[in-house]
Chains A and B, each alone.
Chain A
């Protein structure tokens, strides 16, 4: 019987999926945001599995009990109109389920859109992550460093990514640290992440952006603050400064390996003016944090209007 087959297959998949030889990236979180998302996912899988099982049990019951071959030849199915009470229950239960999920989701929305829980008292490290066909440029204004296609971050510190793009819409995604967000050419979006444990994580552009999309990846290395500081010092000793000409060349379509520079492109090629910011309440703080340069741009912008 096909239904049983499907059910078996589903169950076996669920088993593979839950116990799994290797945990799936999204379900193996290494930061508070990804953790919240993974727990949402697991809760919803549980509730949804329950619904699927109820539907399947009902279906199997109907099919087994009321198949024509089991019924007498003269059996004439009755005419049954709807039943308000029964239909009320069938509407009511899903509404309750949706309400529960809505509650969880709304709560999570505010959590993933603000500084990670447990990190509120720390000042976030701001990193500008911009994409160009088909690379990622990471600018650390605070450290005055720019890297291409790799990201070093300190653990136990909130990170605030400022995302934008020098080309098509891309999506900045580090599955084990948290969900993705779009990077677009005419505005800046903000993604709050944090890493709890040191390690190497996969990061990529998740939004289709043309020929080189598949290889549009980067690696994230999370390390302790001390190691991070050492790395910053090392870069300042060894790396070349990023000039406008070099940056123009970097923007040419293609793939580049890892690259490291001192200085950032934000000076000569600033981020877009428009903030597609998350919440009203945040934006005040943000503006304070990003200091003069951005405030200047905003006033300029206002002057134009």
Chain B
């Protein structure tokens, strides 16, 4: 029995027991369901072994929505606990675990897969490629992410969740002050998914540099591709730092090394520095693709080309450079002295300049346009003022002397939610709605979508703006409770109501998906939004080979050129298409990584070593494997294409969403 005691949750409470039961029930339901409907084969053939960038993108998307749910429930618990002074809903330990997991889940397991979903779905289509450069590596990236996410999510039912905050500062995260295996989970789960992210970065950069359609020079790439490219460049430079920091943290915890301890020559600030050398660029990894999506959406629904294409690209390049030069602003209060603080203060404020350029360029894209208020456009329009507020409060935080007063308070919490929610989450929801027909061939319901938008925006304002005020009134972040005398009560209650509205918004968005699956008309055609860039030049949903013939491109708005200016996108005859083979190895590697990570978390050395050998075995096997891919015959392509064409003819009315305007 002693062996199994380590798996017990150190701080159990009814909610955790209920979750255990729920997890078992849901898993059983899935297994029984799959068996009953005889879907195991389908699941394996079509999804678990897939290397198709679109299917991988969809799996990222589903994961992101699931994790949004998980992180959202955490957030609701936090806001509920703080809604009243001296509330006893959560005890301090539980509260600490919840806010730690909320942060990690939202950043690493929600926002990251969300942007990877769109990178995977859209980038190859925007550059006219058949798939990413390394399709199998892409599948490995996804399964590593999935393994990391699963590993992280079982922490709260097996062994205990991390409780040292998403930043996991040492020595608090060291074994001395954090005895449970929670922080082991943190170190190892993020490590595994981080390796996946790094490989996605390499993959996307190669794809974008090497696989663009003829005629598409770098300065003729659609803006989302540019944004993804820059984000991946940041990934390549930032993630290795995280990898090493996590490795050092892991050895500190498991093998008693002293990198971040306060004795024996360790340096606790070293962790803080490493963490933010990765952590600050990380927020730009999230926001740049979001900017890319806004660029596409605003340009499409303003009926205009993107204003200032060159300065848009330039500003992203500058943002990526600066993102590596500002990390110290996360700890101005560490006592580096006035000179260091001044330098980092100025470099941080400097980021406002290229970001401002982007905001004004979006505004100028609407200028003289013809603005249609669809759901994606609403999110983009809501983004501009809200994100501007988040941005300017960022400038306020960048003023280091004043930051001594904002640091570690709810003001800071309000600021970063104010950038990440309207910045990243709105973009992802805009992208979800905008690209939904691209993925599935039907639209999401606009009415429900608009309700979702309003609930989310109003909820957001109510939830986070009060925090600016309580922060200035001295409410520190991560406090599990406060007394009535502090006067934080009423505003925190407002924030709780806001969080409730945001939860309703999430339900509406999910309901919209189910509703639209059932009720939305199929056959929306290939161009439901009257869009402009190349990804819309193929069918909805996209056939597995993306484009029957390779497109030839003359500008960043190739599809618009083809529609309006008679640009000839597709030349020549349909030829055989070379596609990669599906493979089960990535999935198997993901499973082995999961086992390996789990063994490391609990210091089970034998399975850890065996699974490490397994991982290397997979890699060795791959290097001896001969896989030349497969060819799709001309007949098959023609058959697929004619199916789409006849569907296009049957389509009776143009969709109300924009086709009418063209």
Contacts from A to B (Cβ < 8 Å):
2-3, 5-6, 9-10, 13, 16-17, 22, 24-27, 34, 36-38, 40-41, 44-45, 48, 51-52, 55-56, 58-59, 62-63, 66-68, 71, 73, 75-83, 86-87, 90-91, 94-95, 97-98, 101-102, 104-106, 108-113, 133, 163, 167-169, 171, 173, 175, 178-182, 184-187, 189-190, 202, 204-214, 276-279
Contact = CB atoms under 8 A, between A and B. Distances in A.
Given A113-B338, A189-B335, A209-B172, A59 B385 contact: yes
A109 B345 contact: yes
Nearest to A80: B307
Nearest to B408: A206
Given A48-B392, A185-B268, 11 more contacts: A3-B385, A34-B405, A44-B395, A62-B366, A78-B304, A87-B308, A102-B346, A167-B172, A168-B171, A180-B407, A279-B338
B368 interface: yes
A208 B338 contact: no
17 contacts: A2-B454, A26-B405, A37-B402, A63-B381, A66-B367, A77-B368, A81-B309, A82-B310, A82-B361, A90-B360, A90-B361, A101-B399, A179-B407, A181-B335, A181-B404, A204-B476, A278-B335
Contacts of B164: 208, 210
Interface string B317-340: 000000000000001011111110
A276 B267 CA distance: 12
Given A37-B401, A78-B304, A63 B366 contact: yes
A66 B478 contact: no
A-B interface, 4 closest residue pairs, ranked by CB to CB distance from nearest: A179-B404, A108-B401, A189-B335, A82-B308
Contacts of A212: 92
Given A66-B366, A75-B370, A202-B474, A108 B402 contact: yes
Contacts of B336: 276
Nearest to A108: B401
Contact of A190 (B335, B389, B398): B335
B207 interface: no
Best-surrounded residue of B163, B309, B363 (most CB of chain A within 10 A): B363
B268 A98 contact: no
B566 to A, nearest CB: 15
Contacts of B200: none
B370 A66 contact: yes
Interface stretch (B51-59, B183-191, B348-356, B623-631): B348-356
B375 to A, nearest CB: 13
Contact of B408 (A26, A48, A184, A207): A207
Given A67-B373, A179-B401, A278-B337, A211 B360 contact: no
A226 to B, nearest CB: 30
Interface in B167-198: 169, 171-172, 177-178
B359 interface: yes
A202 B482 CA distance: 13
B305 interface: yes
B392 A52 contact: yes
Interface stretch (B465-473, B606-614, B640-648): B465-473
Given A66-B369, A71-B370, A208-B172, A213 B395 contact: no
A214 B371 CA distance: 49
B656 interface: no
Contact of A82 (B96, B268, B309, B367): B309
Contacts, number: 303
A17 B469 contact: yes
B372 interface: yes
A249 to B, nearest CB: 19
B652 interface: no
Given A9-B461, A44-B399, A108-B399, A213 B381 contact: no
Contacts of A26: 405, 472-474
B165, B267, B476, B478 interface centre (most CB from chain A within 10 Å): B476
A283 B349 CA distance: 29
Contacts of B262: 184-186
Contacts of A202: 474
B403 interface: yes
B407 A214 contact: no
Nearest to B163: A210
A87 B345 CA distance: 25
Interface residues of B, number: 98
B616 to A, nearest CB: 38
A59 to B, nearest CB: 5
A73 B370 CA distance: 10
B93 A211 contact: yes
Contacts of B403: 179
A89 B272 CA distance: 38
Interface centre among B385, B388, B398, B661 (most CB of A within 10 A): B385
A78 B364 CA distance: 12
A68 B359 contact: no
Contacts of A13: 465, 469
A111 B401 CA distance: 9
Interface in B455-503: 457-458, 461, 465, 469, 472-474, 476-482, 487
Given A109-B338, A168-B172, A22 B487 contact: yes
Contact of B372 (A68, A111, A175): A68
A213 B396 contact: no
B385 A56 contact: yes
Contact of A106 (B96, B267, B345, B393): B345
Given A82-B311, A276-B335, A91 B370 contact: no
B363 A186 contact: no
Contact of A180 (B370, B404, B465): B404
A58 B482 CA distance: 41
A71 to B, nearest CB: 5
Given A44-B396, A62-B366, A75-B370, A210 B172 contact: yes
A90 B408 contact: no
Interface string B272-311: 1000000000000000000000000000001111011111
Given A6-B386, A79-B304, A110-B338, A180 B402 contact: no
A278 B337 CA distance: 4
A205 to B, nearest CB: 8
B385 to A, nearest CB: 5
Contact of B337 (A27, A37, A113, A168): A113
Nearest to A110: B338
B357 interface: yes
Interface string B377-415: 000011011101100110110111111110111000000
